[in-house]
Amino acid sequence: MRMIDLRSDTVTRPTPEMRRAMAEAEVGDDVFRDDPTVIALEERAAELLGKEAGLFVPSGSMGNLVSLMAHLGRGQEVIAGRQSHPVLHEAGSHAVVAGASVRTLDELPDGTLDPDEVREAFRDPTDEHEPITGLVAIENANAATMNRPLTPAYTAEIAAVAHAGHGTAPGVPLHVDGARLWNAVVGLGVSARELAGPADSVTFCLSKGLACPVGSVVVGSREFIWRARRARKLVGGGMRQVGILAAAGLVALRDGPAGMIERLAEDHANARRLAEAIADMDGVESPGDIAQPEPGPLDPSRVVTNFVLFRVRRDREAFIEALWRRGVLVVAFPHGQVRAVTHYGIERDDIEAAIAAVSEALAETSLAPVVA
């Protein structure tokens, strides 16, 4: 049976082109800055996002961590969304390693943080009891809201709030966790430069929709990247002949159909098709929480990129298990949701097969206890 793995876009395998580029990559010791392929990738990423410099890191989590370490001193605080990745899914590294606290704000249903709330969240630097606000961080695209893209206008607005500070609190930088920045770029039809322009640092993952086996890139000013490089060293992330991995990234970031950015539009169309087909099925409903707060049917127009979140009026685990038995892999997501993610390797036929499997799994589990 062909497995249709919709658990995440991290399950993607490298393309044949990537494997060839990896096999042939010119490499050197990157800790000595001797690896031409890594240097080329870092320069390419910086150029695409309109920043001075880039840094290749093994993962998005490390990209966020070294960015926090480069921006913040111990005892400083980052203002971030309550459901953002560093807050929920990075093992508390902001606290354990960077020594920073987080002031969490509720994300809005469009994935944004309210600019007024961000302004109000700055601490009073004249009060010795309070942490010192040192950074604002946003997530683009925003996973908790079906990977919804945040616009350049919003990014500029929140950057202005961060840079202005509040009261006696001075301005701070803006970091963008752009693990899926390219989905936002393609979903909005804007350039990466427009999205990254207002931010002081941006991380993006190569190993999600772009289908590389490993890696993320951090970009920012030359001076910021120097501090991020030092932070990467501190957490043991300096790598040697890592051009073998960077070579796949260079393939992914090529312009046009030779690269992996443009084709994300197919994933978005596939996700929308899946959402439209299952939205009408009895037993499928709104994902709730901030993805779609209003109860009722799933609204496919919320699917702008490659995530489909929904809930089922079924025993969720039984439903997921029934799908797995039909070769369709999805995951349980917070707030009682089910998540299906489209990506490279998932074709339109797979989506049609997944739609049929959802219908069958709903029928099979219809007698199971109803979830509250």
Ligand X SMILES: Cc1ncc(COP(=O)(O)O)c(C=O)c1O
362 near ligand X, judged by CB under 6 A? no
Total residues at the site for ligand X (CB under 6 A)?
A: 12
Residue of 235, 202, 231 lying closest to 54 (CA atoms): 202
Q: Which is nearer to ligand X, 18 or 277 (CB)?
A: 18
Q: Which is nearer to ligand X, 7 or 20 (CB)?
A: 7
Would you give the binding string for ligand X spanning residues 151-180, x where CB under 6 A is met?
Answer: --------------------------x-x-
- Residue 184 identity: A
Which residue's entry shows tokens 């489209």?
Answer: 342
Rule CB under 6 A: choose which of 44, 51, 71, 85 binds ligand X: 85
Q: Which is nearer to ligand X, 92 or 167 (CB)?
A: 92
Smallest gap, in angstroms, from Cβ of residue 81 to ligand X? 10
Would you give the binding string for ligand X spanning residues 31-70, x where CB under 6 A is met?
Answer: ----------------------------xxx--x------
Q: Which is nearer to ligand X, 122 or 182 (CB)?
A: 182
Smallest gap, in angstroms, from Cβ of residue 216 to ligand X? 6
Q: Report how far apart the first and last C-alpha atoms of the chain are (Å, whole number).
A: 34
Residue of 324, 323, 66 lying closest to 203 (CA atoms): 66
How many Å apart are CA 221 and CA 215, to the nearest integer?
A: 20
How many Å apart are CA 252 and CA 260, to the nearest integer?
A: 5
How many Å apart are CA 103 and CA 137, to the nearest integer?
A: 10
Would you give the binding string for ligand X spanning residues 104-143, x where CB under 6 A is met?
Answer: -----------------------------------x---x
Smallest gap, in angstroms, from Cβ of residue 85 to ligand X? 3
Pairing between β-strand 307-312 and β-strand 337-341 as defined by DSSP bridges: antiparallel
Q: Which is nearer to ligand X, 215 or 243 (CB)?
A: 215
Structure tokens at 335: 């707030």
Smallest gap, in angstroms, from Cβ of residue 59 to ligand X? 3
Smallest gap, in angstroms, from Cβ of residue 344 to ligand X? 16
Smallest gap, in angstroms, from Cβ of residue 139 to ligand X? 5
Which segments of 180-219 does DSSP mark as H helices, in order?
A: 181-188, 192-196
Q: Which is nearer to ligand X, 30 or 139 (CB)?
A: 139
How many Å apart are CA 116 and CA 132, to the nearest integer?
A: 19
Smallest gap, in angstroms, from Cβ of residue 349 to ligand X? 27
Q: Which is nearer to ligand X, 7 or 313 (CB)?
A: 7
Residue, CB closest to ligand X:
60
How many Å apart are CA 130 and CA 125, to the nearest integer?
A: 7
Chain centroid to CA 337: 18
Q: Which is nearer to ligand X, 8 or 101 (CB)?
A: 8
Chain centroid to CA 243: 23
How many residues are recorded in the chain? Answer: 372
Smallest gap, in angstroms, from Cβ of residue 177 to ligand X? 5
Write the burial class of residue 294 (CB in 10 Å: 0-12 exposed, 13-18 middle, 19+ buried). Answer: exposed
Q: Which is nearer to ligand X, 177 or 200 (CB)?
A: 177
**129-132-138 Cα angle (round to 5):** 135
The answer to whether residues 314 and 362 touch, using CB atoms and an 8 Å cutoff, is yes
Smallest gap, in angstroms, from Cβ of residue 117 to ligand X? 20
Rule CB under 6 A: choose which of 205, 284, 309, 358 binds ligand X: 205
How many Å apart are CA 27 and CA 34, to the nearest integer?
A: 8
Q: How far is CA 86 from CA 77, 98, 265, 314, in A?
A: 13, 12, 27, 31
Would you give the binding string for ligand X spanning residues 215-254, x where CB under 6 A is met?
Answer: -x--------------------------------------
What radius of gyration do the chain's Cα atoms show?
Answer: 21
- Residue 61 identity: S
Smallest gap, in angstroms, from Cβ of residue 180 to ligand X? 6
What residue ranges bind ligand X (CB under 6 A)?
A: 59-61, 64, 85, 139, 143, 177, 179, 205, 207, 216
